[in-house]
Structure formats: structure tokens, C-alpha cells
Amino acid sequence: MAFHAVLTISLRTAMMASSLWTRGSLPAAETFRMVSEKQLAGFDSLASALAAVSRRGGHVDPVKITSAALRPYQRSTRANARRLSRRR
């Protein structure tokens, strides 16, 4: 997950810097997508953590809950890394 996060941040930063340098503004669609996908991943993370707690019948295992909470972030960072590394 860390590799995909680093790749996503690197590619997105380079993309934004080149856009800012050449056009003088950031692409609105990509900026909106950056914010909205983090909100969605946060909601998915909360839902996954709550589902993990409810499946345990009240027994709280912090490792399993944390793992369930991080799964949505892992999916979205991997998808972003694939999307941003495609040739245009």
C-alpha cells in the first residue's frame, strides 16, 4: 500500500506542477476528484471498521479492525497509481 501511495502522490504532484506551470491553473476535474475520492475512501473505511466490530460480536481486535479500515484506502491508492501511470 505504501508503494502505491508514494507513486500516486509523486505522479499527481508532477501532473499538477506541470499543469500549473504551463496553463497557470490546476485542472478542476482532477482537483475535485482528489478531494471526493478521499471522502469516499474515508466513508468506506468507517463502514469497514464498523462491520468488522459488528462481526466480532463485541470482541474488539484492534489489528483486524485496523486492517478492515485500511482496505478501502489500499484499493483506492492502487487504482489511482494505475490510472495516473497510464500513458496519455
Give tens-digit pLDDT for 4-28.
777 777 777 787 777 777 777 767 7
User: pTM to 2 decimals?
Assistant: 0.61
Amino acid 60: pLDDT: 78
Q: Sign of the CA dihedral 8, 10, 13, 14?
A: negative
pLDDT at 73 (0 to 100): 83
Question: What parts of the chain have a pLDDT lower than 50?
Answer: none
Give the pLDDT confidence score for residue 87 in this predicted structure: 63
7: which residues sit within 8 A by CB, 6+ positions away? Answer: 81, 84, 85
